[in-house]
Structure 1
Amino acid sequence: PRFRLINDDPLPSDWVGRPWALHNGFLASSPNSEWILGIDADTIPHPSLVCSLLETATTEGYDLITLSPRFILKYPGEFWLQPALLMTLVYRFGAAGEIGSSAERVMANGQCFFCRRSLLEKVGGYTSAKGSFCDDVTLVRNIAATGAKVGFLDGANILKVRMYEGMAETWNEWGRSLDLKDAATSAQVWGDLVFLILVQALPLPLLIFSAWIVGSGNTTLPALIALGLNGSLVAMRIGLNAAVLQSYDRSSAKGAWLFWFSPLADPAAVFRIFLSSTRKPKSWRGRVYGG
């Protein structure tokens, strides 16, 4: 059969559930296969997905490709919060399709993971990401460190995903892994957090404050510089919001207009990154973990 359901062995204490399941799927795959495709159950792939991946990998020489999807959002709160959380990734690692990142700054999305079998065999399958709650980024960065050509590409036209139901679930479930601390050093995590505070969380409040200062008659050079700098950062954020619009499926949405107000959620989004940076997840998708 083209599709075969398999049962994993009991989860070892030093593994997280998702990489354990993926590792077992890899071990059960045909040893004669050239490529391994990992795809999440909540995705909606276009019929041309596999052909597109294979053609791109062959013509552009990729050893591993992951895709950014088109997000299916349905409720007002999602449209306000989710783009702000997504923007924390864009600010730190750039948009999908960017090239030239060092191995430790490579971005990835395991919802669609296309990799040469020989490469996965070389790194021992998913073992290097066995304890990671962001196993996709951890594994891809480990593979990139071997010298393989990896790509994080725009897949909005061939992959859709409905990740979470509502704003609260988006905050709790997606927000807890966006710090990527399991795929980075402490210096990277905290350096990125400071960067997000400066370029995403503070500009809008500081723009309002500096505009009030200047409007009150304080036209000193520091006040004008603060107004101009924060105004530029807010304008850039609005431009980035427009740029990611194509990454959203709004066909069944309520309150989609709140997407344009997502910059107002930026301070909350960065605060969520701070919270996840300081906490180790103790539960994930219904499974409870120790420590």
Structure 2
Amino acid sequence: MKAEATTTTGKPAPRRPRAGAAARVLAVAQAVAAVVVLARLARGRRRLPPLTAPAPGEFPGDAPPGGVAGRAAWIGGGTTSGGGKPGAGSPGISVVIPARDEERRLGPCLRAVLADPAVTEVIVVDDESSDGTARLAAAYGATVVRGRPLPEGWVGKQWALHQGLEEAHGEIVVTLDADTRPRPGLFGALAAALAEHDLVSAGPRFVCDGLAEQALHASFLATLVYRFGPIGPPVPPPPHRVVANGQCLAFRREAMRRADGFARVRGHMTDDVALARALAADGWRVGFLDAGGLLEVDMHESAAEAWREWGRSLPLRDVTRPAWQAADLAVVWLAAALPALRLAAGRPTRLDLALLAVRLLLATALRRSYARPGAGVLLSFLLDPATAVRLTQATLRPVRTWRSRAYGLGRADAVTCGARPGPPDRTAAR
């Protein structure tokens, strides 16, 4: 008979929990996470087509009169709700750009927007900038709206967009961040997409300079795909899982005014997803479409800035309920970070190797999301453990400051609060 282990005092030693049981539980959890990831990635086999520039003479038709004055005179004069050519019903397009201390980045965006003949009005909302943002925008010929002081309970970007929407005259409004670089045809493509959607969010190509910045950015981007699947799903997800890119949104002006969308998500740091989920819950058809051929974004100047700024918003802390936050983090840790850690330790399992192969296939697909893809995209899986740490950190200790302002944290259950006017009148909009 096997003798029972004893301590030096002769007493029986306490039994240690079996490590094998914990390993089996971890293996089962990782297998579940792998199935979830594969199911989400499989959605990419059937995606909505990317946005493409309309052919000459197509919707939205011929260009309005040249110059800022000519465009301003054309807005609304001869527009209808049905589309078509200028003078025969093509909708005016107002572009609203919220800007706070964006003098260094705003110029390329304005040049591209003002050169697009489909745009009939460009509004820059100067959100109490301390630099020459307003002066630069006026020099380019944009309409500058001097932002009013920020009311209590509002986040700056939503307040700026709310004011810009009040000033817009076009039937269609496109909102852009100052770091976007639109290409010819983007605005016509967005207008055409509104025939099938009520809110369109455009997925750009990213400009990332340097190996480290590109690798970190691609690792962050991969976590979004693991949690929500590729952009352009043919079947919309439930409202609480809708995602959007606030760098470029398009909608019909009157429908957004009736919904009072920006006011309803006024306290959220993750404003774009909060807006999309609130409107989807109202019955809006929200489309997140690939616009890589028509839009580029230069988000960050370094890997350190990407870690600090993008890592702040990616957890979607203020628009996601705790149970979903935990589930999403578990997927990232088990399906992305753990295989990379075990590979680095020289002890990967077969499932780890399979997940690493899937991750490399995703990295290959993500190359199309970058203007100048390099080795950083393919090597991004090595940074997945660090990315998981950053997402966990930002989930547990959310950042509440942005552009020299400090904010409270919006509640995840607040994205559908307030008046719910219902979906827009789609019959009139077509």
TM-score of the aligned structures, taking structure 1 as reference length: 0.87
Q: Which residue of 1 aligns with 2:159?
A: 20
CA RMSD, 1 decimal: 1.7
Q: 1:173 aligns with which of 309, 319, 323?
A: 309
Aligned partners of 2:261 and 2:279 also within 8 Å? no
Q: Which residue of 2 aligns with 1:158?
A: 294
Q: What is the alpha-carbon distance in structure 2 between the residues aligned to residue 176 and residue 227 of structure 1?
A: 32
Q: Which residue of 2 aligns with 1:206?
A: 342
Q: What is the alpha-carbon distance in structure 2 between the residues aligned to residue 168 and residue 80 of structure 1?
A: 12
Q: 2:206 aligns with which of 71, 93, 100?
A: 71
Q: CA deviation at 1:75?
A: 1.7
Q: What is the alpha-carbon distance in structure 2 between the residues aligned to residue 56 and residue 239 of structure 1?
A: 30
Q: What is the alpha-carbon distance in structure 2 between the residues aligned to residue 125 and residue 108 of structure 1?
A: 14
Structure 1 gap segments, 5+ residues each: 213-225
Measured against aligned partners, the alpha-carbon deviations of 1:81-135 in whole angstroms (never above 9, x if no partner) come to 1100111111111111113211111110011100122331232130121111110
Equivalences for residues 1-291 of structure 1 within 5 A: 1=72, 2-3=121-122, 4-30=143-169, 33-58=170-195, 61-100=196-235, 101-207=237-343, 212=347, 227-250=349-372, 256-289=374-407
Q: What is the alpha-carbon distance in structure 1 between the residues aligned to residue 276 and residue 309 of structure 2?
A: 21
Q: 1:181 to 1:99 in 2, by over 3 A?
A: farther
Q: What is the alpha-carbon distance in structure 2 between the residues aligned to residue 162 and residue 286 of structure 1?
A: 21
Q: CA deviation at 1:235?
A: 0.5
Q: Which residue of 2 aligns with 1:219?
A: none
Aligned partners of 1:99 and 1:151 also within 8 Å? no
Q: What is the alpha-carbon distance in structure 2 between the residues aligned to residue 139 and residue 109 of structure 1?
A: 10
> What secondary structure does 2:354 align onto?
helix
Q: What is the alpha-carbon distance in structure 2 between the residues aligned to residue 73 and residue 198 of structure 1?
A: 27
Q: What is the alpha-carbon distance in structure 2 between the residues aligned to residue 113 and residue 289 of structure 1?
A: 24
Measured against aligned partners, the alpha-carbon deviations of 1:222-269 in whole angstroms (never above 9, x if no partner) come to xxxx72211111100000000010111128xxxx32322110000111
Higher relative contact order (CA 8 A, sep 6+): 1
TM-score of the aligned structures, taking structure 2 as reference length: 0.60
Q: CA deviation at 1:14?
A: 0.7
> What secondary structure does 1:244 align onto?
helix
Q: What is the alpha-carbon distance in structure 2 between the residues aligned to residue 57 and residue 9 of structure 1?
A: 31
Instruction: Kindly tell me the number of residue pairs found equivalent between the two proteins.
Output: 269
Q: What is the alpha-carbon distance in structure 2 between the residues aligned to residue 113 and residue 258 of structure 1?
A: 29
> What secondary structure does 2:318 align onto?
helix
Q: Which has the larger radius of gyration?
A: 2
Aligned partners of 1:179 and 1:276 also within 8 Å? yes
Q: What is the alpha-carbon distance in structure 2 between the residues aligned to residue 80 and residue 208 of structure 1?
A: 17
Aligned partners of 1:97 and 1:152 also within 8 Å? yes
> What secondary structure does 1:281 align onto?
coil
Q: 1:153 to 1:267 in 2, by over 3 A?
A: same
Q: Which residue of 2 aligns with 1:217?
A: none
Structure 2 gap segments, 5+ residues each: 1-71, 73-120, 123-142, 410-430
> What secondary structure does 1:173 align onto?
helix
Q: Percent identity among equivalent residues?
A: 39
Aligned partners of 1:26 and 1:125 also within 8 Å? no
Q: CA deviation at 1:208?
A: 5.4
> What secondary structure does 1:184 align onto?
coil
Q: 1:289 to 1:142 in 2, by over 3 A?
A: closer
